[in-house]
Amino acid sequence: MKKTAVITLNFGEPTQATPDHVVPFLERIFYTNSSLEAQETEAEKRARSRQLAERRAPGLIEEYKEIGGSPLNEQADTHARELGLEFIRRELPVHVYSAYQYTAPLIADVVKRARADGVERLIGLPVYPLCGHSTNVAALNDVQAAIDEISWTEVEFEGITGWHRHPLYLEMRADGVRRTAKEAGVDVSAKGTRLVFSAHGTPKKYLDAGSGYAKYVDEFCTEIASLLGVTDYVLGFQNHSNRGVEWTQPDVESVIETIEADTVVVDPVSFMREQSETLAELDHDLREEAEARGLAFHRVPVPHDDPRFITVLADLMEPFITGDDSPVGLRYGACRCRPEANTFCLNSLPRDQAAPRP
């Protein structure tokens, strides 16, 4: 077997709540999404990204201070270590690297390290269950760009994008809602109690360009609700309209402002790490809005420490590593959000269509 490595790809958040750390982080995000505006030259894109970053930084710094710093990177690194141990248990000789799109260690630096380590096959694993343009797709694009930048022509690179359909992952997320409801002493199916799914928003321009993100979010929520036996639920998006472009609707804040309920159970369905968007935007800001309306507010923790999650990630990667069919019956198709020959997902085929990854 060729020397193979998995590179886990995560968003990343600054480890220090200072302008020196937060502004460059935001600059990278805004630059990645610079196509949302009309800047044409590289200099214009860089200048606009810097402007937006400096405008957003003070508020984000306060959020990080409020939550005592982001735990995202620590949780992501833990997952990478645990995934490596799971590969050992499965007798798969694979090294695991942890890389970030917007904070150190950046994807480009980890790709260089993999080359220096003699890796011959590199498998990209974006740890975002719901495939989005600026997450799954952009992360794999960054890996390919890093490979091209160092002319690493001999490496075999492929990756996965959307994987929220993994049955164990769905059950794990449903169990999180069950556990929170039980601890709170509420029934998510009862009159007066509403299950609210909160997903990270995305600019509508990406959806118009072919991203299936909104469809995948809707499907995922429907699946979880079905497992819970819930038919009456609401979906809201955590939008970040820094550029004044149209985003997914409705905003989760609007949902809370208008919902007819006494109690809400909020599940951050698109997140696999606790971070500023869960610990600040939901636990502080959204909770305040809910309680101002007299609503009892319960937030489902992100199940980052559920041991089943590592099983899910290993299941996803095993067919890439061995070249065999999935041992748990997962079916891979060519990704439509990133239509490259080396990119696969669980979203492209009907669930009953038997078409293993080539």
pLDDT score, position 358: 39
Task: Give, in order, the Cα–Cα distances in Å from 285 to each of 66, 99, 117, 194, 253.
Answer: 11, 30, 45, 19, 9
Asked, for residue 264, whether it belongs to a domain, the answer is yes
189-234 confidence digits (pLDDT tens): 999 999 999 999 999 999 999 999 999 999 999 999 999 999 999 9
Mean per-residue pLDDT over the chain, rounded: 95
Sheet hosting strand 343-345, strand order edge to edge: 94-100, 4-10, 121-126, 156-160, 343-345, 333-334
Distance of CA 20 to the CA centre of its chain: 25
Report the candidate in 276, 240, 273, 238 with the shortest Cα–Cα distance to residue 63. 276
- Asked if residue 208 belongs to a domain, the reply is yes
Work out the number of other CB atoms within 10 angstroms of the CB of residue 349.
15
* Residue 231 domain flag: yes
Taking only the tens place, the pLDDT of each residue in 296-319 is 999 999 999 999 999 999 999 999
110 exposure class (CB count in 10 Å sphere: 0-12, 13-18, 19+): buried
Range(s) of the domain holding residue 262? 167-299
Question: Which residues 6+ apart lie within 8 Å of 151 measured at CB?
Answer: none
Q: What is the mean pLDDT of residues 135-141?
A: 97
DSSP assignment string, 86-98: HHHHTT--EEEEE
Residue 258: Cβ within 10 Å count = 10
Average pLDDT over residues 136-161: 98
Q: Calculate Rg over the CA atoms of the chain.
A: 20
Confidence band for 350, pLDDT divided at 50, 70 and 90: low
Q: Is the pLDDT of residue 354 over 70?
A: no
The CATH number of whichever domain residue 262 belongs to comes to 3.40.50.1400
305 φ, ψ (degrees, to nearest 5): -100, 10
Show Cβ contacts of residue 141 under 8 Å, excluding neighbours closer than 6 positions. Answer: 338
> Distance (Å, rounded) from C-alpha 1 to C-alpha 91?
13
Instruction: State the average pLDDT over residues 6-29.
Output: 97
pLDDT score at 343: 97
User: Is 113 among the domain residues?
Assistant: no
Furthest CA-CA distance within the chain: 61
Are the beta carbons of 219 and 130 closer than 8 angstroms? Answer: no
Instruction: Give the least confident one: 30-39, 114-123, 263-272.
Output: 30-39
Number of domains in the chain: 1
Backbone dihedral region of 165: left (phi > 0), alpha (psi from -120 to 50 degrees) or beta?
A: alpha
pLDDT tens, position by position, 276-292: 999 999 999 999 999 99
Q: Tell whether the model's pLDDT for residue 81 goes beyond 90.
A: yes
Q: Does residue 115 lie within any of the structural domains? A: no
Per-residue pLDDT, 349: 65
Distance CA 322, CA 1 (A): 9
In a domain, 276, yes or no: yes
- Asked if the model's pLDDT at residue 353 lies above 70, the reply is no
Q: What is the mean pLDDT of residues 83-97?
A: 97
Cα–Cα distance, 142 to 148 (Å, whole number): 10
**In-domain check, residue 95:** no
Query: Is residue 9, in this structure, part of any structural domain at all?
Result: no
Q: What's the full length of the chain, in residues?
A: 358
Residue 355 has pLDDT above 90, yes or no: no
Report in angstroms the alpha-carbon separations of 238 from 15, 48, 155. 22, 23, 38
